[in-house]
Amino acid sequence: MKQLLTILSLAFITTIGCAQDNPPFIETPETQSYSYKIVADGIDIPWGLAFITPEDFLVTEKSGTLYRVVNGIKTTVEGLPPIYTRGQGGLLDVALHPDFSNNNIIYITLSTDVEEDGLGGNTALYCAKLTDTSLEDLKLLYKATPNTNKGQHWGSRIVFDQEGHLYFSIGDRGNRDENPQDINRDGGKIYRLNLDGSIPEDNPHVGINGAKTAVYSYGHRNPQALVMHPETGVLWETEHGPRGGDEINIIQKGKNYGWPTITYGINYSGTPITDKKEMEGMEQPFYYWIPSIGPSGMAFSTSGIYPEWKGNLFAGSLAFQYLERLVIENNKVVKREKVLDQIGRLRNVVQGPDGYLYVGVEGKGILKIIPNS
């Protein structure tokens, strides 16, 4: 099976040479084939979501609270490390160890100023043992440097492969001129670690003097979603562009995804960032959005609970406040559709262990999408 997935992954990747020239227009269906119910309310910015069971899950509130929700009742989890809340930073993602049922280990990403140098903060990855509603044996696995007072582009998401690796993302921290293209610096990267926090021996920059050996790919702006493709096992990512140029990328080991040397976006002021949209040695996005939708969280629907959605990709939109359904055929987006239009700033989307899609919506909480019977 492992060999088959590798063959499928390579076959898929080699078919992707450039971004789509004409992204399709998004549709708004006249009738809805679904409804929703709120399964956890009163959460201002529900960033991360991790299911223990369909009725027992963890939710991060960006301002600094980790909730355990059991049968709709929220309880605050104690024992978090200090959180440096600034701008887009705060308590970010949460994920369960692949063997959580036996070891109760969780991983979290957050913004922190642990160096206590008075120069701001940066993104960090921790692990801890969850005991009821307390964290024990807290360990810092990775901390990006240097600290900065800038409040933008912290990332961050966490995901696992089937080979015992953990991937997480850190944005460029508002320093696009230095961080994303330099493998000796943190920021604008996707990182890969072993589950214990050690560096895999086959990481692409191991053995390079001065390089950040945890780095798996680089040239990113602000990665907001990571998910493994359910068939190929390949890592997919979304990231915020500037004004235009939000991207879906298919992440490959050691590859450069171009920011800010190439981009389909422009500065917020309307001035150009670069005149280049492609360059040799830099990867093209699988798909890009113009105008920017503010993609935030991503999931494939695979369960068949929503028959017409099976195999489709879903991404949240912060900017336009809907869940976007993307139909992919022959490695190309052929249809876009709005789901939950005007629901609010949609921060995350996850397929739960029961096969339903759950979304985190700012000011509302966690919503479960239910197909109409």
User: Which residues 6+ apart lie within 8 Å of 49 measured at CB?
Assistant: 57, 58, 59, 60, 94, 348, 350, 358, 360, 366
pLDDT of amino acid 21: 58
pLDDT of amino acid 5: 39
CA-to-CA separations, 45 to 42, 91, 311, 329, in angstroms, rounded? 9, 10, 28, 33
Active-site choice (153, 205, 220, 240): 153
- Report the pLDDT averaged over residues 218-246: 96
CA–CA gap between residue 66 and residue 82 (Å, rounded)? 12
pLDDT category of residue 320 using cuts at 50, 70 and 90:
very high
| Tens digits of residue pLDDT in 18-35 | 676 556 789 998 888 899
Query: Is 97 marked active-site?
Result: no
pLDDT of amino acid 195: 98
Percentage of the residues of the chain whose pLDDT score is greater than 90: 90
Q: What sign does the CA torsion over 60, 161, 143, 148 have?
A: negative
Cα three-residue angle 348-339-266, rounded to 5 degrees:
65
pLDDT of amino acid 115: 80
Architecture per CATH, 293-373:
Beta Barrel (2.40)
The helix/strand/coil state of 59 is strand
Is 7 a residue whose pLDDT tops 90? no
pLDDT of amino acid 274: 96
pLDDT category of residue 9 using cuts at 50, 70 and 90:
very low
CA-to-CA separations, 188 to 125, 164, 177, 284, in angstroms, rounded? 15, 23, 11, 16
| Tens digits of residue pLDDT in 176-188 | 999 999 999 999 9
Domain ranges of the chain: 44-262, 293-373
pLDDT of amino acid 24: 78
CA–CA gap between residue 322 and residue 236 (Å, rounded)? 20
Strand-strand pairing, 46-53 and 56-61: antiparallel
| Tens digits of residue pLDDT in 42-96 | 999 999 999 999 999 999 999 999 999 999 999 999 999 999 999 999 999 999 9
pLDDT of amino acid 10: 38
- Report the pLDDT averaged over residues 223-239: 96
End-to-end distance of the chain based on CA atoms, in angstroms? 36
* Mean pLDDT (the chain, rounded): 93
| Tens digits of residue pLDDT in 90-137 | 999 999 999 999 999 999 999 999 987 789 999 999 999 999 999 999
**153 Rama sector, left if φ>0, alpha if ψ -120 to 50, beta otherwise:** left
Q: What global pTM score does this model have?
A: 0.93
Is 1 a residue whose pLDDT tops 60? no
| Tens digits of residue pLDDT in 286-299 | 999 999 999 999 99
Q: Which CATH number fits domain 44-262: 1.20.1050.90, 1.20.140.10, 1.10.10.10, 2.120.10.30?
A: 2.120.10.30
- Report the pLDDT averaged over residues 199-227: 98
